[in-house]
Chains A and B, each alone.
Chain A
Amino acid sequence: MLSWLTWPVDWLARKISEPRVRRLQAALGDERYIDTDRWAKLNGINKQQAEAELEAAAKVGLLARMYLYEGSDAPGDFLVPEELLNTPIKLVDAGFIDQDEDATISVSPLRSRPVYVDAEGQAETEATQLAYAT
């Protein structure tokens, strides 16, 4: 009964969110990701509202949710797709080319935080490269 309603709802949500996301993309320039704190600051809203908006944009496919790992055991921070959490990730695959070929890090959801990346440009991001490499 509800299934035929799904696509118009999705289409409408996408139409409503798109201009806002375009403005966001322009505002962010070459930034790699956006998190709820920054989105809340940019729009003058609270953190819960920001999270809801970013999640809505992710749901309609404009943004994609990734996990930012900033652990001190890695030479730098990197983004991890949700499906690769808790699995060993090679540091060289995350772009740290000076690292040992076999050096890996397992990223737990407890030691990372969700951020959002542009879903359209996702094919070019390190996170997708990581997903392919792993």
Chain B
Amino acid sequence: MEAAAEVFFVDFADLADVAVFLLAIGLTPLRLRGRPQIKPVTAICQSGFLPHNFLTSHSLCLIRSVRATRFSPYGFHNDALQCVRHAVVHWKPDSMALAENLNAFWISKLGADRLAQLPGGSTGRSSLDKALNVVRELKKDRETLYNLLFEGFDGYFHQSVFVRDLKKSMASTLANLEIGKTVKDVEWWAIQSPKAHHVRVLAGVRRQMQFLTAKDVGEWYVITIPVMIEAMPSLLRVRTLTVQSTPTTWSELLGKEITRILTPLVDTELHDQALGATGVPVGDLGEMVDYSRHAVELMKDTANVNTYAGTFAVRTVGQTRHATGGGGLGRKRQPMHVVMSTEFNELVGSDRVRQCEIDVQKDLDIGLLAGTALVIYPVEGKIVFRKMLSGGAVDAFLAYLAR
């Protein structure tokens, strides 16, 4: 049993605005056990529960409808403060601007041609500027924004795809998720059903990330990453968007100079969190699909596919890895089948491949287009699409694997 509270934070330009706001809303709905609970956040902060660097000088914390359903030896007040602490950690004064920047960053991956077809997408210098205009234009049209994210997942986004084998379809479970609701820091954004028994849910998964600023201060931010859960008969896919983890990118997104990312985003954690929020018991979430056979087939197609590295199991007792050296200085990295043929044959002779890095040289009829770079983790049922793709390739390849 947990305590629950609705907590609001309001950021004011100055104290005169605070007075106007309080007069406008009145105190009635903001009571806790009969006492008004409007406190400057700084006052709560002094109780020792809250990190100081989260606050601005004119922020108010408004607590409404606190329910303490758990008996606590520290009393009701402590439960309320825990709720406030939780809420503060999930809040930043500039969170709206950050959400806009992040959405624009994802949308920019659709490319200049696609952006030009969207409202506001033809003005601005860089792709990110254009995408930011699109996001601002779509501020009140979340449905279109989410459709663009679905489109990105279809073939434009760098992403990690996890595939699980199900005994019973999860399509109806996903179809019944409440859009707009947040569960375990996962907000269900939108739902699509492209065909019968195929349901796709777009979710925003919230993670806390810490960055080191140019002033050597560690700052926490709540970052919402789009994740798509997709259910088909006997298959479940979780597709997590990957973010370039360079301080330059994050400086642009946060609007602040970042020198280091202290807590990277991990795709497996996003996967676990998204599935956990569905409320489906672990036992009903199936097993990871083993794509070793598919990976070996792909690597054996040496006329069209280059393999640069691979890790495979040695019976059940261990593993071994072969990799070609990096190129550099204008020289291309050599594929394994050319310069390490004995080791390459060992790799494609294995029935349990843990990881392989491949590069597609020509368009393949299994959906992969020339120039696509993939890292496959076959025993984990995980495929990471690394290089920018040109629309539809991700979905087409996943459809081939599903067959």
Contact = CB atoms under 8 A, between A and B. Distances in A.
A72 B268 CA distance: 10
Contact of B266 (A31, A34, A73, A76): A73
A108 B288 CA distance: 12
A109 B317 CA distance: 21
Main secondary structure of the interface of A (DSSP, over half): loop
Interface in A80-122: 108-111, 113
A76 B268 contact: no
Task: Name, among A31, A108, A109, A110, the residue most crowded by chain B CB atoms within 10 Å (CB to CB).
Answer: A110
A30 interface: yes
A73 B316 contact: no
A102 B72 CA distance: 34
B272 interface: yes
Given A30-B317, A70-B379, A71-B380, A113 B268 contact: no
Contacts of B398: none
B399 to A, nearest CB: 24
A31 B316 contact: yes
B355 A72 contact: yes
A31 B288 contact: no
Given A72-B355, A73-B266, A77-B319, A110 B271 contact: yes
A22 B91 CA distance: 59
Contacts of A71: 268, 380
B396 to A, nearest CB: 25
A33 B287 contact: no
Interface residues of A, number: 16
A72 B266 contact: no
B285 interface: yes
Task: Name, among B268, B271, B354, B355, the residue most crowded by chain A CB atoms within 10 Å (CB to CB).
Answer: B268
Interface string A16-28: 0000000000000
Contacts of B319: 76-77
Given A72-B377, A73-B266, A73-B268, A109 B355 contact: no
A108 B266 contact: no
A98 B43 CA distance: 48
Interface of B: 266, 268, 271-272, 275, 282, 285, 287-288, 313, 315-319, 354-355, 377, 379-380, 382
Query: What 5 pairs across the A-B complex have the smallest Cβ distances?
Result: A31-B316, A32-B316, A109-B282, A70-B379, A108-B272
27 contacts: A30-B317, A31-B315, A31-B316, A31-B317, A32-B317, A34-B316, A70-B379, A71-B268, A71-B380, A72-B355, A72-B377, A72-B380, A72-B382, A73-B266, A77-B313, A77-B354, A108-B272, A109-B282, A110-B272, A110-B275, A110-B282, A110-B285, A111-B268, A111-B271, A111-B272, A111-B288, A113-B287
Interface of A: 30-34, 70-73, 76-77, 108-111, 113
